[in-house]
Structure 1
Amino acid sequence: MYVRADSLDDLLGKVYRQLLARGTRIEPTKGPAREIYGVLLKLSAPRLRLSRTESRGILFSCLGELLWILAGSNALDFIEHYISEYRKSSDDELTIHGAYGPRMFGKRPNDQLARVISALRSKPDSRQAVIQLFDRRDTLQYHSDIPCTCTMQFVIRDRRLQMLTYMRSNDAWLGLPHDVFAFTMIQELVARSLGVELGEYRHSVGSLHLYERDDKKAIRYLDEGWQPRRPMPPMPQGDPWPSVGRLLVFEEAVRNGDASAVDPRESMEPYWADLATLLAIYKAGKTTGNQNEIKRLKRRLTDEVYAMYINKRYGMVPSVKDQATLFDSGNDAPKAAA
């Protein structure tokens, strides 16, 4: 099956319709599901990576999981702060065996992403810029979690960075939105590192499935409809990794203490400061639920694309500025990938 779309919502809509209509019944370990085997998904505008719906607008967990990967961490307490379900995937209640971060960002010379960037700098037409996440040793003994993602390949064509991910298995309801967010953000980080534009994102899956327990959720999603498409803003030009490092330091401080009083705008470009502010908002909501504090932090945001996710999560009424932004969908075309 081949599915092409410009936005994540358009992609999810097509995927759920296909799975509900023609998915084959299977009985895997985690429960009955519908499956389509051998799927290629293409997202033409990777910055349209966030769902604009009530049910799949999951910005905070997506951002938390991305930073867990970028930190090279396998720590349960880190990811559990954002996604509590990960506890079920831990062998020792301390770590996650299948975590992508250590496999992608191991110590030199095993830092796979650094090697990908170096390879494409020296040979822009290279076909060897591949990251391997699934390892043969993952199946030699039992683990509660092994990587669903096998490989990621990056190529430069027409001065745009294209990316192809191959997954052995993908949960279309829980996993797919998180995976598309994290992997297209990594794609954009590599593109900025190389000084090329962002190209298309391709996502190849062996078993693409929808668990029976999520059938009704998927049906409600299809009936819901979604807001006008709004891409995330472009990542700033230039080397992104110093900014990533500052964001990771801020994330750790917020998660382990209270850095909400620290204004990230003093040390970060607006793009990165907005992501830092979202982390502070999430922490404030998780610890106190104080709407006045959340509103105070929200006023720091430069880009209003994030407002709907904050309003939805914390039951806030959209401001006049939010509403004006909501219906400004002039940036939703496929050129958003540029």
Structure 2
Amino acid sequence: MLTAPTYRTVEGAYLDLLRVACDSPEFNIAARGNDAREVIGVSFRLPNPRQRLPYLAARKANPVFQFAEALWYLAGRRDLEMIGYYAPSMRSSSKDGVTLGGSAYGHTLFNPPAVGDAWSPFERVLELLRTEADSKRGYLPVFSAAELTVADNPDMACLAGLHLFVRDGRLHMVCHMRANDLDCGLLSDVFSFTMIQEYAAIQLGLELGHYTHTIGSAHVNECNVDRVRRVLNEAELRRAPHSFPFPAMSVTTGPDTIRRLLEHEALLRTNTVKYSADEIARLNLDAYWQQAVLLFEVYRQIRHDESDAVGRDVLDCLHPGLRWLCENKWEACAGAEGAK
């Protein structure tokens, strides 16, 4: 049987792809002046897409941004006001300084494509999958040929599309990437797309199936090779990988959940409110999504408070894997224990 290589967590796939691209590249390219090592046409599968986070100290993955980006997609947004707060570097990809283009995947997926159309592509595909057993047509295109006509386009979609399949009571998904920066983009993409898959499964009342990620151009930029080597060395030297099984998304999650979450996110982003862990526990959100608000409060404290340490009450309520990532990402989190 010919299927994509299977990994227990995204971390294993990430490390293997980095090794191949760095040590055995097929090509050395310089697209738009960016020197990179490239492998063409690779894929991998995650039987459990919830294992979407890596736990590597040298990589310093940012769970705050990952949750923010996934919610930004699910809300169908394209504004820089929100996503630029968590990733200022994304501002350079905007032509007008206000919105993003091709990389605002959620805007394409979750909004009606034309004036007068009441349904988004996402809603149409879900309706198809509800009514047509074993359908092969549940494809959500994102990349548009029209993007090729813009010569100075700074933000062409890397995501070609998402393909949803209902089989044996589970929702499986295949992601097709035009290109993936293995060091900078892969982890965030897998996180967001598997969140979209899990969200879709809930709307359909199905169990979560496997996730397959396919890439046309899998590459590592030369300017990041030293950092990649540090990540690979860490993985080589450690005794065993960290393991933090992540819980399932709550089955009550729907559009209203996303709306309420982003109301709290906006209040924290603008430093309009400050939440204690007890206050977050009393919000009109279930325990799963309270984790996202805890992360946004962590980041609010890092960005806006004068204290050198994040409140221990907030950190202690985070899922152990999220807490580990925060403590490895920011000194203010790692130093919170001694500051209390």
Shift in Å, 1:292: 5.2
Q: Which residue of 1 aligns with 2:38?
A: 35
- The answer to whether the 8 A contact 1:259-1:280 is kept is no
Q: Which residue of 2 aligns with 1:26?
A: 29
- The question of 1:130 aligning with 2:144 is answered no
Distance 1:13 1:239 in 2: 32
Amino acid at match of 1:106: N
Gaps of 5+ in 1: 320-338
Q: Which residue of 1 aligns with 2:91?
A: 87
- Map Cα deviations across residues 221-279 of structure 1 (whole Å, 9 max, x no partner): 11112642223211122453332221122112211233323723221110011111111
Partner-residue secondary structure (3-state), 2:215:
strand
Shift in Å, 1:300: 3.9
Identity among equivalent pairs (%): 28
Matches for 1:229-308 after TM superposition, within 5 Å = 229-261=243-275, 263-266=279-282, 267-288=284-305, 290-291=307-308, 293-301=310-318, 303-308=319-324
Partner-residue secondary structure (3-state), 1:4:
coil
Q: Which residue of 2 aligns with 1:105?
A: 110
2:123 aligned residue (96, 107, 114):
114
1:312 aligned residue (328, 331, 335):
328
Amino acid at match of 1:97: G
- CA separation of 1:213 and 1:124: change in aligned 2, threshold 3 A: same
Distance 2:296 2:33 in 1: 31
Distance 1:215 1:148 in 2: 21
Shift in Å, 1:132: 1.1
- CA separation of 1:224 and 1:127: change in aligned 2, threshold 3 A: same
Q: Which residue of 2 aligns with 1:216?
A: 226
- The answer to whether the 8 A contact 1:7-1:229 is kept is no
Partner-residue secondary structure (3-state), 1:5:
coil
Q: Which residue of 2 aligns with 1:327?
A: none
Matches for 1:193-212 after TM superposition, within 5 Å = 193-212=203-222
- The question of 1:59 aligning with 2:59 is answered no
Amino acid at match of 1:100: Y
Distance 1:101 1:237 in 2: 21
- The answer to whether the 8 A contact 1:169-1:207 is kept is yes
- The answer to whether the 8 A contact 2:311-2:336 is kept is no
Partner-residue secondary structure (3-state), 2:154:
coil
1:71 aligned residue (61, 75, 99):
75
Amino acid at match of 1:265: A
- CA separation of 1:68 and 1:238: change in aligned 2, threshold 3 A: closer
Partner-residue secondary structure (3-state), 1:95:
coil
Mean CA deviation greater in 248-257 or 205-214: 248-257
Shift in Å, 1:104: 1.0
- Map Cα deviations across residues 189-234 of structure 1 (whole Å, 9 max, x no partner): 0111111111111111111111111111111111112642223211
- The answer to whether the 8 A contact 1:26-1:35 is kept is yes
Partner-residue secondary structure (3-state), 2:6:
strand
Q: Which residue of 1 aligns with 2:192?
A: 182
Shift in Å, 1:289: 5.5
Note the aligned Cα RMSD (angstroms): 2.0
Distance 1:298 1:318 in 2: 8
Gaps of 5+ in 2: none
Amino acid at match of 1:63: F
